[in-house]
Structure 1
Amino acid sequence: MAVTLNFIPPFEPGIFAFLAARAVTGVEEASWNRYARTLQLPSGHGWFELVWDGTSLLLEYDVEDPRDSDVLLQCVRQLFNLDHDPVSADAAVSKDPVLAPRVEALPGIRLPGCTDPAEILIRAMVGQQITVAAARTQLNQLTVLATPSRLPHGTMTHFFPTPPQIATGAALILRGPKRRIESIMAVAAQLADGTLSIGPHDSPESLATKLLPISGIGPWTVGYVSMRVLGNGDVFLPTDAAVRNGYGLLRGDTLALARTIKVGELSKMAEPLRPWRSYATMHLWRAAGEGPKAPQRARPAHSPGSERHLGV
């Protein structure tokens, strides 16, 4: 089946690169203008592939049961934030003079959503305090636990592991501090037995109430999950190293100087951008990923040089 998806323009395709950097081998395929993955749907298996051709979003998909077509289409729309109003968000983020040129250059930036809330929570916990590349390596290794798809497509042969599969077999695969692994295993077990359930029915407040008491989950993880599971457009993560570095680099700092920016300064900067701070976060993450660009302000000799160890 092939369809063209409607969206509110403009559409900035950087969301494809965001998903590509995190794509799990065997489950997803992605590039700068294409994303595909397997899906376990209510009535059977499926897959989709979305391509941006510069003007249109072209979706191809297959499902075992035609009743799942509408569910799949809604999953894609949520994942790519296609019902978002980019004009309003861009106008709000442009209130910051540092971000305004960025918004002008990249209008219509999108907020990545998700196809499965439990998957996003596990991904977020695996990725805490390590790089995107390191997290992706661990997630790739977890696919040995996963269910094979009855509708394989290209290299996509399996689904992302379910909470019961992770709770049963991930302890010997995950790497890192023992406490972190224990937290991931505990959350997977709670998701598996139903004592923990998260989804679009939650509010940011109910999500925080459920997750913050859990050992190993802090405000950064709750904010990230709120952004991706709820489509929360007003998440700002001032303790995130990439947010900090991105803001400093955009205003012309050296990377060393950017690393001295305080959490309070970032929070104050973002306050006027409500209720669209998630889109500022996306701009800053992207700027941090692009790295330093000359010319930059030299770091003052008296500036403190300690690096914060923050969630990335």
Structure 2
Amino acid sequence: MRFCATAAAAQREGFRACKRCQPDAVPGSPRWNGRADVVARAVRLIGEGLVDREGVPGLASRLGYSVRQVERLVQAELGVGPLALARAQRAQTARLLIESSGMPLGEVAFAAGFASVRSFNATVASVFGMTPGALRERARGGVGYSPGRLLVRLPFRGPLHVEGLWGHLVATAVPGVEEWSGGVLRRSLRLPFGTGVVGLRRGDGVVWCELSLSDMRDVSAAISRCRWLLDLDADPVAVDEVLSHDEVLRPLVAAAGGRRVPRSVDPAEFVVRAVIGQQVSTAAARTVAGRLVEEFGEPVVDVGGGVSRLFPSMEVLAGVDPAALPMPGSRGRALVAVADALASGAVDVGVGSDWGAVRAGLSAVRGIGPWTVEMVMMRGVGDPDAFVPGDLWVRAGAERLGLPTAVSGLVEWSSRWRPWRAYAVQHLWALGDHEANRLPDLSGSSPAVVEGSA
């Protein structure tokens, strides 16, 4: 028996994943998603498709290291270099499109990031032991494809607590950018090569993802962001095991295991939304954000729903007069200041960002306090240990459980939840009578907790 750090390393040694249980069907790794070091940042950027777009030099530039140093670090930790990881990522995207869509195989090759059909055929045959055509035949064909649109399955590690995840995203949906209708969560996407609209709905052990893209080269990035939004690459078993060690949280975990952290498809967007949400109700924050979208957002076409705009870009918001914003002056100035920092690159909250630098950069913006910083770290940047002890609903949940409610006392108690405090927050939030804990429009839906396929 041999152990490999990644699917890419196993592939390099000549191994193939089981064709029945497909252990590599969930591409993300909780081990790397939950770390903040250089290699973890590299893995997240590769998963976002950066190497396909900019090569290893682009990856090194984003990380602030030389190409040689990045290759050495990744090789030492994972057993393969960045190019091999990117190749495995392309192979997984290709299999997803082959098995879950009716997209012509020639188009699949380029949508998955391959430079040629020949390299696509060779990689698929090498990694999966089957030709692309055989893979599709084995999966009994695709399920719905027209130019620019496709339907794919997003597997996950079960269990998945649905109401706590979708409920939060629905409750905070910004009009124009997001909508909930008929059991489908839809929203617009700003992607590397163009724009898109995604519709997400629950299935039997998967999440169905319907994509409408202006450029099919964005398939991999769009899928990665949708998985990130729903935290589908989390390891709920590992999280629940740690949280269950606390006798106070144990009953909550037993009753509602598999809670995920509701995230954002665009961390910069979430920073702005967090600033808007400072010291106001969820409904008020949605209203203000909706006004910003209506005035400054770019139009987008949604053939299947009511999504009409992209969230305003940071460049646009950085040039807005704070006095013209529908919020108190100090908050308006903070919004414009942080948008300018994000647009200029002074603060980087992207997938491969340095978490320490993010905290420091956001904290340096006047008008942004600890609550906003930690909310961004938790829901935007993805730090699984982010914690918001001063949050109203967190403190209310702590009080119901008989835990300390003072910030210092709650922080001390939370040390037993590390490194998964962001997930503990979801359990505390769920104790309150908030609309985010109730999912509307449940006609014909599946149970609140479903098992994953991988």
**Normalising TM by the smaller chain, what interval?**
0.7 to 0.9
Q: Distance in 1 between matches of 2:378 and 2:183?
A: 22
Structure whose residues are more often helix by fraction: 2
Provide, for residues 100-137 of structure 1, a one-character-per-residue CA deviation record: whole Å limited to 9, x for no partner: 11111111000122211210110111111111111111
DSSP 3-state at the match of 1:58: strand
Q: Which residue of 2 aligns with 1:83?
A: 233
Superposed displacement of residue 284, structure 1: 0.8
Partner of residue 231 from structure 1, selected from 382, 399, 402: 382
Measure, in 1, the Cα distance between the counterparts of 2:327 and 2:288: 10
**Kindly tell me: are residues 193 and 265 of structure 1, through their superposed partners in 2, closer, same or farther at Cα, counting changes over 3 Å?**
closer
Give 3-state SS (helix, strand or coil) of 2:197's partner.
strand
Q: Are the counterparts in 2 of residues 50 and 60 from structure 1 also a CA contact under 8 Å?
A: yes
Deviation (angstroms), 1:28: 0.5
Q: Secondary structure at the match of 1:157?
A: coil
- Mapped to 1, the partners of 2:331 and 2:305 lie a distance apart of 34
Superposed CA deviations along residues 181-217 of structure 1, whole A, max 9, x for unmatched, are 1111112223233333321222321111211111011
Pair 1:103 & 2:247 matched: no
Equivalent in the alignment of 2:312: 161
**Counterpart code for 2:388:** L
1:19 aligns with 2:148: no
- Give SS of 1:5's match: strand
Describe how 1:163-182 pairs up with structure 2 within 5 A.
163-169=314-320, 171-182=322-333
C-alpha distance in 1, partners of 2:313/2:250? 41
* TM-aligned CA distance change 1:99 to 1:31, over 3 Å: farther
Alignment of 1:133-148 (within 5 A): 133-143=283-293, 144-148=295-299
Give me the whole-angstrom Cα distance separating, in 2, the residues matched to 1:290 and 1:183.
27
Task: Say if 1:290 and 1:215 are closer, same or farther in 2 by CA, change over 3 A.
Answer: closer
| 3-state SS in 1 of match to 2:212 | strand
When structure 1 is superposed on structure 2, of 95-104 and 278-287 the one drifting more is: 95-104
**Partner SS for 2:261:** coil
Change (3 A) 1:5 1:197: same
Gaps of 5+ in 2: 1-149, 436-454
| TM-score for both structures, normalised by structure 2 | 0.59
Report the more deviating stretch, 146-155 or 222-231.
146-155
Q: Distance in 1 between matches of 2:263 and 2:321?
A: 25
SS in 2 for 1:288: coil
Please tell me the root mean square deviation across aligned C-alpha atoms, in Å: 2.1
Where do residues 288-299 of structure 1 align in structure 2 (5 Å cutoff)?
A: 288-290=432-434
Aligned to 2:185, the other structure's residue is in SS state strand
Deviations along 1:50-73, whole A, 9 cap, x unmatched? 101354311111112111111100
- Alignment of 1:67 with 2:211, yes or no, is no
- The answer on whether the counterparts of 2:378 and 2:387 sit within 8 Å (CA) in structure 1 is no
Contact 2:230 2:261 in 1 (8 A): yes
Whether the aligned pair in 1 keeps the contact of 2:160 and 2:260 (CA below 8 Å) is yes
Is the 8 Å Cα contact of residues 16 and 34 (structure 1) preserved in structure 2? Answer: no
Question: How many residues are treated as equivalent by the alignment?
Answer: 284
Given that 1:152 and 1:158 are in contact with CA atoms closer than 8 Å, whether structure 2 keeps it comes out as no
The two structures have a TM-score, normalised by structure 1, of: 0.85
| Aligned equivalent of 1:255 | none
TM-superposed deviation, 1:173:
4.9
Which blocks of at least 5 consecutive residues in structure 1 are unaligned? 252-257, 292-312
Partners of 2:409 and 2:229 lie apart in 1 by: 31
Distance (whole Å) between structure 1 residues aligned to residue 182 and residue 417 of structure 2:
28
Larger-Rg structure: 2
Contact persistence 1:246–1:287 (CA under 8 A):
yes
Structure 2 contact 197–212 (Cα < 8 Å) conserved: yes
Tell me the residue number matched to 1:278.
Answer: 422
| Structure-2 change in CA distance of 1:268 and 1:171 (3 Å) | same
Matched, 1:124 2:268: no
Provide the C-alpha distance between the structure 2 equivalents of 1:33 and 1:102, rounded to a whole number of angstroms.
26
Task: Using the TM superposition, name which of 123-132 and 201-210 deviates more.
Answer: 201-210
CA contact (8 A) 1:223 1:237 kept: yes
Moved more, 59-68 or 198-207: 198-207
1:210 counterpart residue number: 361
